[in-house]
Copies of this chain bind each other. A is one copy, B any other.
Amino acid sequence: MSVQERKQRERAERERLIVATARELAEQQGWDAVTTRRLAERIEYSQPVLYSHFRGKREIIGAVALEGATEMAAAMRAATRTTDDPRTRVAALARSYLDFAARNPAVYDALFQLDGGLAFAQEETPEPLKDAFAALLESLGEVAGDGVHPGLFTEVFWAALHGVATLTRARRLPPEDTERRVELLVDRLAVL
């Protein structure tokens, strides 16, 4: 029995190694550089081993996305915990969101740009994703304003942040003015 347990542990450990290595490689050189061959070489196993853990590259991206969602939710909660003032809270939330996207571009891509085979905005959405949205909702719901559904408001605020994050990283928006954009978004969208 204990032999099987050891094997299961080792297998789980190797799966973590795959995800961590994929993430590392993606952050270093972009997702295009994350090929199954390179990934296999880095974990010092042959290519087919990857397919005994994941159905394909898509699922590996999905695993990185789930890991990232958990971290992102934690980062946003940590940023909003320090104050009770709604204005400050929402601004801190927005900054921590954009900061996470800028510091972890590959993870952000896995979450919101690439196809990781994950379900969004429905029943079978994985828990980490629901929780990340919940982290947004916790701070944004209270500034939605009268007659506006908190969920809808959160979606709109999120979409605005997502637009700023992606357009900035794709060099469609100059990065210098990010702070002023955050100020504008918070001042206009949030009802204090």
Contact = CB atoms under 8 A, between A and B. Distances in A.
- For chain A, which range describes its interface: under 10, 10 to 19, 20 to 34, or 35 or more residues? 20 to 34
B159 A167 contact: yes
Contact of A177 (B155, B166, B167, B181): B155
Q: How many copies does the complex hold?
A: 2
Contacts of A6: none
Contacts of A155: 167, 173, 177, 181
A174 B121 CA distance: 7
Interface stretch (A47-55, A56-64, A183-191): A183-191
A172 interface: yes
A152 B166 CA distance: 16
A124 B107 CA distance: 31
Interface string A149-167: 0001101101111111011
A13 B19 CA distance: 48
A45 interface: no
Nearest to A121: B174
Nearest to A144: B184
9 contacts: A121-B173, A155-B177, A155-B181, A156-B185, A159-B160, A160-B160, A162-B167, A188-B188, A188-B189
